[in-house]
Amino acid sequence: MVGLESIRNNGVNVGKLVEEFLNASKIKKGDFSRLMDISRNTLTQNLQKEDWSNEQILKTVDVINELTLNGDLVDGLKLFPIAIPAFLERKKGVVNGLVGRTIKVGLKGIFTEVTEANEFKDNLIVDASLGQGSAARSVWIGIRDDRISKSGFSEGVYVVLLFDSNGENAFLSIAYAVSDKDPKKLEEMAKVPAQKIMEVIAGDSRFEGIEPGAIDLGDTKGTVAEHYEKSVIVSKKYSVTNMDKAILKQDLSLMLELFYDFVFEDYFEVLEKTLLKNNSEGEVEQSVDSNSKQLSLDSKSKSKIDPDLHKKLLAAKAEHNSKVGKEAEDFVFKQKIQQLRDSGYNDLVSSVKHVSLELDGHGFDIQSIEVNSGGIAEKVYLEVKGSSMGGKKDFTFYLSERELQVAKELKDKYKLVLVEYVGYAKQRIFAEFSPFPNGDDEDVIEMKPIMYKCKFEH
C-alpha cells in the first residue's frame, strides 16, 4: 500500500490528526466511536497513538466521510495527510470520499474566495478533477481565465494546485494545459517563461519557495499526470502534512498576480497568435527560437478567429497596462522627490507634480525639477512607461500621438522614464532619456507605426 506507507515515511501522527479534526468539526466522539465499532475508552487510547494500522486508517476516513457535513469540509484539510493516501489507495469514485468533497467543496471555497477579491473576478473560473470513475494519479484544483482558456482547462495556461500520487505533496503552479500541446515539447516550452518569471521575483520575499520547471508527482508513467509534471512553468511545493489555509490563500493570491503579469507582459502576443493566426492547415506552428527565445504554441485543434474574445483580451490587457503604469508613475514621482531631499533641495519638492492624476492628456505624467551643474533649477517633463517583467536588453512601449508631439516640442526637457519589474521588490528604472533632444527624429528609439488614420472621399 504505497499511499498509506507514505504516512509512516513522513512521520504523520495519525492519532493527533484525527483528534484535531474531531475537535475542529462538529463530529461527536460518541458517534465516531460507535461507527468505528470501538468504545469511547478505546478511542481515547487510539488518539494517543501515532501509528495506526492500514485497516484503522481506511475505516477512519470512511467514518469521517459519512459524518462530515459539507459546511465543515474546509477543516478537512487537517485530515489530508491520511485522507489523500487513503483516497488514492482505495481508488474511490469521483463523487464519493472525503478528499473528493473536500477538494470540490472545501478547497473550492478557498479558491473562490481568492478569485472574488481579484480584479478579473468576473472571468475567473474554479474547477477540480479527481479522476474518471476512480481516483486520478494526480488530483487537482485550478483557476482559469475564460478569456485565456476559453473552453476549459484543456487549453491555454492557468494556475493549478496539483497533488502527487502518494498524497504527500502539493504544488501550486502556473502551468500550460496539456491537451492542446505537443507532450514531447512541454518541458522545453516551459523553460523560457520560467527563466523570465524567476528573474522577476528574484529577491522578493513574498515569492520565497517558488521554483522553476518540471515537478515530481510520483508514479505517473503512462498517465496524463506525466504530462502535468512537464507542463509546469513555476511552482511552490507544500507538504500535505503542513498545509495551512491562510498561507495557501496568500500564496494563491500572489500566484494569480504573477500569472497575469506573465500573461499580459510576456505571453500575450503568443496568445493572440493562437486566436488569430491560421496557417494552411488551420494550426499555429510551435517553435522555440534559440536566439530570440520567442515562443509560439501549438494547437491541435483549428484556431478560429473569435472577435469577441479578442476584444475582451485587449480590454483586459489595457486594464493591466493602466494599473502597471500608475504604479510605475507613483514609483518615479516618489523617487524624484526623494532625490531632491537627499540633495538638500527640500524647497523644490513642492514643484514636483504628478499631473496625470488630476488630468490626463498633458502628453507627460510628471512635472519635475532638475538642478543643473550650475546650481540652476529647471523644469523637466517625465512620461513614465512601466513593465512588470524585466531583465531584457530592450524595452517595448507605446507613445500616443499627443505624447509624440509634446516630446518633440519640449525637446531635451522631455524625458521618457522606463521602469521595469513594476510591483516587485527589484522595481527599478531601466532607462531615463530624452527621445527627441533636438526636436527631430534621432536614433534614440526605434518607432514602428501600428495604426493609420485614413480618409476616403467619394
CA–CA separation, 249 and 364 (whole Å): 39
What is the per-residue pLDDT for 83?
Answer: 81
The answer to whether 175 touches 197, Cβ cutoff 8 Å, is: no
Residue with cell 477540480: 128
pLDDT in tens, the chain (458 residues): 567 887 888 788 999 989 988 888 878 999 999 999 999 999 999 999 999 999 999 899 889 888 877 666 666 677 777 887 787 777 665 445 677 777 877 788 889 999 999 999 999 999 988 876 555 667 899 999 998 888 889 888 999 999 888 778 899 999 999 887 888 888 998 998 999 999 999 999 999 999 999 999 988 888 888 899 999 999 999 988 777 888 999 999 999 999 999 999 888 877 766 655 433 334 434 433 333 344 444 444 444 446 777 788 888 888 999 999 999 999 999 999 999 999 999 999 999 999 999 888 899 999 999 998 888 999 999 999 999 999 888 898 989 999 999 999 999 999 999 999 999 999 999 999 999 998 876 668 888 888 788 989 98
Q: For helices 307-342 and 268-276, what crossing angle results, to 10°? A: 170
Residue with cell 494519479: 137
- Strand runs labelled E in 197-301: 210-212, 232-239, 287-288, 295-296
What is the per-residue pLDDT for 443?
Answer: 67
At 279-334, the pLDDT tens digits run 333 443 443 333 334 444 444 444 444 677 778 888 888 899 999 999 999 999 99
At 83-122, the pLDDT tens digits run 877 877 776 654 456 777 778 777 888 899 999 999 999 9
What is the per-residue pLDDT for 276?
Answer: 52
Q: Which residues contact 99 (CB under 8 A, 6 or more apart)?
A: 76, 80, 83, 84, 86, 87, 92, 130, 135, 139
Q: Which residues contact 96 (CB under 8 A, 6 or more apart)?
A: 65
Task: Centre a 10 Å sphere on the Cβ of residue 363 and count the other Cβ atoms it contains.
Answer: 21
Of 81, 59, 67, give the one whose Cα is nearest residue 26: 67
What is the per-residue pLDDT for 347?
Answer: 94
Looking at the chain, how many residues does it have?
458
- C-alpha cell belonging to residue 67: 459524518
CA–CA separation, 107 and 115 (whole Å): 12
CA–CA separation, 416 and 162 (whole Å): 43
Residue with cell 505537443: 182
Residue with cell 506552428: 285
The answer to whether 236 touches 189, Cβ cutoff 8 Å, is: no
Of 83, 90, 70, give the one whose Cα is nearest residue 243: 83
Q: Which residues contact 171 (CB under 8 A, 6 or more apart)?
A: 161, 162, 164, 215, 217, 232, 235, 236, 237, 238
CA–CA separation, 452 and 444 (whole Å): 23
- C-alpha cell belonging to residue 223: 498517465
Q: What are phi and psi of 422, to 5 degrees?
A: -60, 130
What is the per-residue pLDDT for 272?
Answer: 67
- C-alpha cell belonging to residue 251: 500564496
At 180-192, the pLDDT tens digits run 788 888 899 899 8
CA–CA separation, 130 and 141 (whole Å): 9
Burial class (CB in 10 A: 0-12, 13-18, 19+), 338: exposed
CA–CA separation, 278 and 291 (whole Å): 25
**Distances in Å between the alpha carbon of 132 and those of 128, 221, 451?**
12, 17, 50
CA–CA separation, 116 and 110 (whole Å): 10
